[in-house]
Amino acid sequence: MPTPGRADIELFVEPGKMEIPYRYHAGAVGSRFLIELRDRQKILGIRCPACNKVYVPPKSTCIHCFAKLDEWVELGNEGTLTSFAVVYQPEPPHPLKPPFTYGIVQLDGADTGLVHFIGEAEAEDLRSGMRVQAVFKEDRSGSILDIKYFKPA
């Protein structure tokens, strides 16, 4: 296929996949959140001093008013399932084998939702507005997956 503007050069494309190893740095805010999950099984949010919104997972800047966030709030392990989706198709990045359910959980005291797995429930028994609670792994490593899933409360 000729390159636009260069009729004398043929463009050759070879499809393929490339793995790129990387390390993720959670930063000071994300690190504190993950350490509390790992060490104390506590879910922390962070409150905006200007507009009073509580974010989970926490962030360093309010997305509404751009204020610096530094007021930590300990939240409970329960909340409301606001929406959910069942995954049937396997994909390489999925940490679970299908079928499994992702949900958005708004923890009590938070103004944002946390996307996580829903367990111990059949998809047909789930509904938006139902109460759920966090189930923690026994062996935790400092990952959002230290919360194994949320189950009906």
Give the model confidence (pLDDT) of 30-53 as tens digits.
999 999 999 999 999 999 999 999
Give the DSSP per-residue string, 101-132: EEEEEEETT-SS-EEEEE-SS-GGG--TT-EE
Ramachandran region, residue 66 (left: φ > 0; alpha: ψ -120 to 50; beta: rest): left
Task: Give the model confidence (pLDDT) of 88-116 as tens digits.
Answer: 999 988 889 999 999 999 999 999 999 99
Q: Tokens 């919104």 correspond to what residue?
A: 53
Domain map (residue ranges) of the chain: 12-152
| Bigger pLDDT: 100 vs 14 | 100
- Whether omega before 15 lies within 30 degrees of 0, making that bond cis, reads no
Q: Tokens at residue 116, please?
A: 């996580």
Mean pLDDT of the chain: 93
Q: SS3 for 3?
A: strand
Please state the pTM of the whole predicted model. Answer: 0.84
Q: Can you give the pLDDT at residue 22?
A: 80
